[in-house]
Amino acid sequence: MFRLYSKGCEYAIRALMQLTAAERGGTFTAKAVCCRAGIPEPFTRKIFQALVQGGFLAAVPGRRGGYRLKRAPERLSARCLIEAVDGAQTFGSCVMGLPVCSDRGPCPMHATWRSAKQHLLAALETITLQDLMDLAAAPAAGPRTHGHLSG
């Protein structure tokens, strides 16, 4: 089955979407956002470390510590978050899962995936963490869309 990103990346995005207005500019705990998102805290903490290493989060030590965003949510694209957790090669592998696939030795889906991937990457670059937070906070009054993506 094709997955856009890993379960860990899903958890990181779901957790960050739960940041309150106060937490967006200050510190937050993994426990609080994981509780609100309904996701496992220990696994998400490990994923947050990838975001710390990628320069998206800062670890705040001490009794009132936790994490803080290093950039404003409107400056964090979904693509950047996905690549920080899953790696820069995330969108470079064969959509059919073949170990060898390239322009010179393409799989049957190569040209279709290359075209679709260009549109996907452009959309993921456009949607920000702030957009996702806003969509998550919007009342559930029907289908939600933003640009090219539907939620």
Residues in contact with 119: Cβ distance below 8 Å, sequence separation at least 6, in sequence order:
148
pLDDT value for 2: 62
pLDDT value for 137: 81
Residues in contact with 116: Cβ distance below 8 Å, sequence separation at least 6, in sequence order:
none
DSSP H or E stretch at residue 9: helix 7-16
Q: Among the residues of 26-128, which ranges form H helices?
A: 30-37, 41-53, 78-86, 110-126
| Length of the chain as a residue count | 151
> What does pTM read for this prediction?
0.81
pLDDT value for 100: 87
Q: What angle do CA 123, 18, 33 make, to 5 degrees?
A: 130
DSSP H or E stretch at residue 67: strand 66-69
Would you list the domain boundaries of the chain?
Answer: 7-150
Pick the CATH number of 7-150 from 1.10.3210.10, 1.10.10.10, 1.10.3720.10, 1.10.579.10: 1.10.10.10
pLDDT value for 148: 45
Chunked into runs of 10 residues, the chain (151 residues) has average pLDDT values of 81 92 89 93 91 93 90 94 89 86 90 92 95 84 48 43
